[in-house]
A and B are shown apart, each in its own frame.
Chain A
Amino acid sequence: MRALAQALMPHLTIVPILLPLLTACLLLLLDGRRHRIRGMIGLAAALANLAVAVLLLFWVGSDQPAAYGVYLPSNWDVPFGIVLVADRLSVLLLVTAAVVALMALLFAVARWHKAGAHFHPLFQIQIMGLNGAFLTGDLFNLFVFFEVMLAASYGLLLHGSGPSRVRTGLHYVAINLLASSLFLIGAALIYGVTGTLNMADIAARIPQVAAGDRALLHAGFAVLGVAFLAKAAMWPLNFWLVPAYAAASAPAAAVFALLTKVGVYVLLRFSTLMFSDQAGASAGFGSDWLLWGGTATLAAGAFGMFSTQRPGRLAGFAVIVSSGTLLAVLGLARPELTAGALYYLPSSTLGVAAFFLLAELMERSRSADVAGARAPEDEEDHLPFPLAELELDKDVNLDEDEEMLIGHAIPAATALLGLAFICCTLLVAGLPPLSGFIGKFVLLSALVPELSADTARIDALLTWVLPVLIVLSGLCALVALSRVGIRFFWTPVDREAPLLRVVEFVPIAVLVGVCVFISVRAEPVMRYAAATADALYSPAGYIDAVLSARPRPTPTNAERLSLHGQESAP
């Protein structure tokens, strides 16, 4: 496996971007009504994407201290051409994204992909944007991939149409356009100060920035950070998230759970790369903001869970809780905590994605109206569920050709849904025995020694806020989810078993299964996370790997390459 990855390596880095792009082009050429063949092609591409991500994981996870797959797509010298970098962090996120995307697509193939014309191309472009954002080593390229990702997400959010999707979509588009403007302002300021857009090059130049320009540089990073924090759903920039995610169709919402992680990824990358100990006067810039912003986000998400009883909205708040935990922990900027966060990240992402898919099945089984016809912020949300009105209407489905559906009704559907719901609850609330608990346990065990050693500090009281909140957020999630679970699964109402298709249940089962796997094999995953965190906090390896990459000699660039060598020699 590793040998195969090694053989393919220099070019394997760009495959996660090219593969979905080419698939999307191919899918666009096919007739929009041929859902089955489009679904098959999309699934094959998503599967191949996962395979490539796993291959990359084997390559970067090899025993050498830190592996950086640096790829120069344009074959230009490093600070000038664009560059892709596959390191442990980006590959970890690639694999997480690939798993969620594949499962969401499988879920969509049962029903949702027929609700609009271009679901499959949009979905592939979404995967491409995500992968590109994880792999790029260039600030402006990051903007482009962000926009690719967002453009696809606008389409996916509106997929299926309906008033609530259009209204929340309008808010979502407006907020993200504003965030993109902030991104551009920040990127332009950073370029104006450092004169480069290559992330490794910026990191190398930050210590030498003139004292007078440093405030401008920090302003640039702060503006940039606001754009990412809006994406990562930090309070108070996250009011758009819950209505939009709850209104989106389930497969789209599951993928959107990844979009917040892109914000977290970029913040982690920047804070460790640009503001490490070697950054001179800029070291540690912004980490307090991450810590307290993340803490506020955690609190807001935890209380938000109490305020709602719709599963889709609960999942939205679970996304916020997950983001808040990650941001706060990253703000503390300690390798062992970051290792815990990197274990917690895939587990919580998979758990929340499974919950989004499950929420749709649960809501479909309880209400006969077409999903989306009801506004997500309806006041009825705060009332107990009208379970007595449960009448399963066979015309719920958005597709016209009912006989084309794959799968069949399972008699034990309610039992299976209930079991999946319990697993999701354990994952979201962070209870044993699943991986959510292990992630939170690692975080807490790294947080608490710091407290006992440091109790003399004036802000000792303040440092207790985070661990207590992490525990409390788990409790809030448990209470809120149990309440919903009891109403859905235990309230005795004579109703038909919900219609559950195998194709729709398998993705949830697989997502939960992956979480079980990373709980059982927690040790190698944790070792990988710890190695990732160590590599992140010694950014010299990343900077050297990128800046020492040389273009391949070709007949046309030989002259330029030797010229460049002469210039840099003196």
Chain B
Amino acid sequence: MEIVLACAIGVLTACGVWLLLRPRTYQVIMGLSLLGYGVNLFIFSMGRLALDSEPVLAPGVPTDLAHYTDPMPQALVLTAIVIGFAMTALFLVVLLAQRGFFGNDHVDGREDAE
């Protein structure tokens, strides 16, 4: 499971960084989104991976992290998702405004010479 998650984070982050460096605003927003997913999975993995464990206390189970999954990163991921989503929406608005002002989707507002 660790290797699958690590690969997923790596691929998402690599794609995100690649797209972020592209000159089109749509690519940039996709890159930021992918990067956000990679980061969220990464935070999740920092609470250690556990199968079939609950994040909330259950009666009769010893209260240590060996029997539970860490609830903290889950709360953090939730916050990060909400904030990231809102910021992406805002970026989308700026992207559309830029498109309206310059008539193209280049991040600098000008067409390439190519």
Contacts and interface: CB of A to CB of B under 8 A. Distances in A.
A490 B6 CA distance: 64
Given A166-B101, A170-B98, A191-B46, A184 B39 contact: yes
Contacts of A154: 90, 94
B35 A173 contact: no
Given A140-B76, A166-B101, A181-B39, A174 B87 contact: no
A151 B36 CA distance: 16
Contacts of B40: 184
B11 interface: no
Nearest to A144: B79
B39 A170 contact: no
B68 interface: no
State the majority secondary structure of interface residues on A: helix
B76 A170 contact: no
Contacts of A140: 76, 79
B109 to A, nearest CB: 5
A151 B90 CA distance: 9
A147 B83 contact: yes
B97 interface: yes
Interface string B35-59: 1100110110011100000000000
B111 interface: no
Interface residues of B, number: 34
Interface string A192-220: 10000100000000000000000000000
A163 B83 contact: no
Nearest to A191: B46
A161 B97 contact: yes
Contact of A166 (B36, B80, B97): B97
Contact of A191 (B73, B83, B98): B73
B102 A167 contact: yes
Interface string A128-168: 00000000000010011001001100100010010100110
A161 B96 CA distance: 13
A177 B43 contact: no
Nearest to B35: A181
A197 B83 CA distance: 18
B25 interface: yes
Nearest to B76: A140
A323 interface: no
B86 A184 contact: no
Contacts of B32: 174, 177-178, 181
A127 B101 CA distance: 30
Contacts of B102: 163, 167
A170 B90 contact: no
Contact of B86 (A151, A188, A192): A151
Contact of A169 (B76, B83, B94): B94
B109 A180 contact: no
B7 interface: no
A368 interface: no
A143 B43 CA distance: 13
Contacts, number: 89
A97 B36 CA distance: 31
A115 interface: no
B107 A147 contact: no
A47 interface: no
Nearest to A167: B109
Nearest to B95: A170
Contacts of A180: 83-84, 87
Interface string A179-193: 011001101110110
A2 interface: no
A184 B83 CA distance: 11
Interface in B5-42: 20, 25, 28, 32, 35-36, 39-40, 42
Contact of B101 (A144, A163, A171, A187): A163
A174 B107 CA distance: 10
A178 B91 contact: no
Contacts of B47: 191-192
A52 to B, nearest CB: 27
Contacts of B43: 184-185, 187-188
A158 B94 contact: yes
A313 to B, nearest CB: 17
A255 to B, nearest CB: 18
A163 B107 CA distance: 12
The CB with the most chain A CB atoms within 10 A, among B25, B91, B95, is that of B91
A171 B107 contact: yes
B98 to A, nearest CB: 5
Contacts of B20: 174, 178
Contacts of B28: 174
B80 A184 contact: yes
A167 B42 contact: no
A191 B98 CA distance: 38
A181 B76 contact: no
A7 B101 CA distance: 55
Contact of A178 (B35, B76, B79): B35
Interface in A315-349: none
A177 B87 contact: yes
A345 B79 CA distance: 32
Contacts of B94: 154, 158, 166, 169-170, 173
17 contacts: A144-B79, A154-B94, A166-B94, A166-B101, A167-B98, A167-B108, A170-B98, A171-B107, A174-B91, A177-B88, A181-B35, A181-B36, A184-B40, A187-B43, A188-B46, A191-B72, A191-B76
Given A158-B94, A173-B90, 19 more contacts: A143-B79, A147-B87, A151-B86, A166-B94, A167-B101, A167-B102, A169-B94, A170-B98, A170-B107, A174-B20, A174-B28, A174-B91, A177-B36, A177-B87, A178-B20, A180-B83, A181-B36, A184-B43, A188-B43
Interface of A: 140, 143-144, 147, 150-151, 154, 158, 161, 163, 166-167, 169-171, 173-174, 177-178, 180-181, 184-185, 187-189, 191-192, 197
Please provide the 7 A-B residue pairs with the shortest distance between their CB atoms, ordered closest to farther. A192-B46, A188-B43, A188-B46, A163-B101, A166-B97, A181-B39, A147-B83
